[in-house]
Amino acid sequence: MTQQTAATLHQFINGHWIPGNADELVSTSAVDPEIRVASGKAADTAQVTEAFIAAEGARASWSSTPMAERAGYLLRASAYLNEHAEQFGAELATEEGKTLPEGIGEVRRSGQILSYYAAESERTSGSTFHSPRVGEQILVSHKPLGVVGIVTPFNFPIAIPAWKIAPALIFGNTVVFKPASLVPLLATRLVQAFEHAGLPEGVLNLIIGPGSLGDSIMDQPQLAGLSFTGSTGVGRKLCALGAARGIPVQAEMGGKNASVVLADADLDLASEQVLFGAFRSSGQKCTATSRLILDESIADEFLRKLILRLSQWVTGDPLDPAVHMGPVVDIRSANAVRNGIKKAKSEGAEVIFEGLAPKCATYIAPTILGISNDVRGRENTAWREEFFAPVLTLLRVSGSEEAFAAAEDSEFGLSLALFTRDLATAIDAQQRLDVGILHVNSESAGADPHVPFGGAKASAYGPKEQGAAAREFYTHTTTVYLRG
């Protein structure tokens, strides 16, 4: 990996880039922790307060700005991202670890998200209802919440912020944005896109620092709502703090997503899609496949096809065009995965396949673990806990009933992939399986900006994200009884 000059990290408050007041913050290469990608000073709680004061100061003017004008800022920011997609994509691959094509694709998708929400200015803004009374109309209008806090994870360092910030802004909210401290550079690039677009001072504020700043965000009196993506533990804590204050919280949390391959599945298609769902982006997607449920009748043939594909899967430098999968984001994450695999093996899991990976601290080889279908096997760490890594846990079952029961055997309910040629089975799965996203004959990972995104059970709290669903969180309604 080529050594590059480290970028300088600053906070963006009230339209100005300023140094942080707290400890040094360093973002390093996912491949080599000795390479600095960006560095600066973290924000302190006083700067969090300053950011909220700035957002509150801009709130009234921004909410009264015509939506078509707000859309113009999003479109200009989108164009800026597309113009710099290759540079920012390479920075993303270096900082987070996903491959260069994935990094560039994520930057372009972020631009697409901004463009999608810019088009809200041309969509329906409210509803009209019939009144039971003569001479009266009932109107329902949507109004912004106010100042919104946005907290995002490391794994999609520009796309997830984009799909939260874009609807927040287009619906008239102002924003205080705190990204994961592991990947601050791409968050900075997104804010720079809005700065380039001429966004008014105070409308979007960036606070870079440790996770503990989340508590400071929840303490701010101006906070009117919080959108969070991250771990279930942190998400539930923030939900509780929001409930105590009466503040709406939207939380996308953990997952332990299954791919179910039934006896009638197209095994060539299924093995390809399971490979993509489990191992792209080093498994560091909230919708990644981490459980594989195979009908016993096709299990051996499916595994033969999957392992053949995996044996050709190249793990290495994410900037190398020949590489399919890079490292996980940092050494701490890699060590946690290794410890999880070790624990799963001590609980009875069997290593079915372990691929090749560079002998560096942040690389995890693509791995398949097998567990038994008895009580002890189903309590295995690899079946229950989210590794967030290229580790797939296999369970063999007999028939669709047993497969669906196994798929439901999780506290999480984010995404599921089902492979079958039978339409009735697919319809049955849609009715019975409690997940937010169901893919039939495609990988479990992936989300389009024009449809709702989010999970069920312990995977989510509050309204869904993206598409028309975003308006449910970033606005509240006023019902108007209008009589002349």
Q: Rounded to an integer, what distance in angstroms lies between the CA atom of residue 289 and that of residue 298?
A: 19
Of the candidates 151, 146, 154, which has an alpha carbon nearest to the alpha carbon of residue 206? 151
Structure token pair of residue 227: 């959108």
Rounded CA-CA distance 178/166 in Å is 15
Q: Can you tell me the distance from the alpha carbon of 380 to that of 370, in angstroms, rounded to the nearest whole number?
A: 10
287 token code pair = 């919708």
Of 228, 413, 144, 163, nearest to 239 by C-alpha is 228
Q: Is 370 helix (H, G, I), strand (E, B) or coil?
A: strand
Distance (Å, whole) CA 365 – CA 330: 14
What would the two tokens of residue 172 be?
A: 């008239």
Residue type, position 162, single letter: A
> 286 catalytic, yes or no?
yes
Q: Is 139 helix (H, G, I), strand (E, B) or coil?
A: strand
Q: What angle do CA 479, 483, 484 make, to 5 degrees?
A: 140
DSSP for 220-250, please give it: -TTEEEEEEES-HHHHHHHHHHHHHHT--EE
Alpha-carbon gap, residue 434 to 401, rounded angstroms: 15
Provide the 3-class DSSP secondary structure of residue 273: helix
Q: Beta-carbon neighbour count of residue 123 at 10 Å?
A: 10
Tell me the C-alpha to C-alpha distance, in Å, between residue 66 and each of 118, 140, 154, 220, 415.
Answer: 12, 18, 33, 28, 37
Active-site residue, selected from the candidate residues 286, 386, 443, 465: 286
CA 357 to chain centre: 26
Residue 347 a catalytic site member: no
- Nearby residues of 299 by Cβ (< 8 Å), 6 or more positions away: 396
Active-site residue among 56, 95, 102, 252?
252
Residues acting as catalytic residues = 252, 286
